[in-house]
Amino acid sequence: MVDRELLDMLRCPNCVQEKEGLLEEYKETWLICQDCNRKYPIVEDIPVMLIDEGDKWIDTAKEDLPVPPPPLT
- pLDDT at position 17 is 87
**Can you tell me the mean pLDDT for 3-17?**
90
DSSP state of 63: G
Q: Which domains does the chain have, with CATH numbers?
A: 4-64 (2.20.25)
Tens-digit pLDDT profile for residues 24-68: 999 999 999 999 999 999 999 999 999 999 999 999 999 999 999
CA neighbours closer than 13 Å in the CB half-sphere of residue 10: 22
Distance, CA of 62 to CA of 73 (rounded, Å): 21
Distance, CA of 12 to CA of 21 (rounded, Å): 5
Q: Is the pLDDT of residue 3 over 90?
A: no
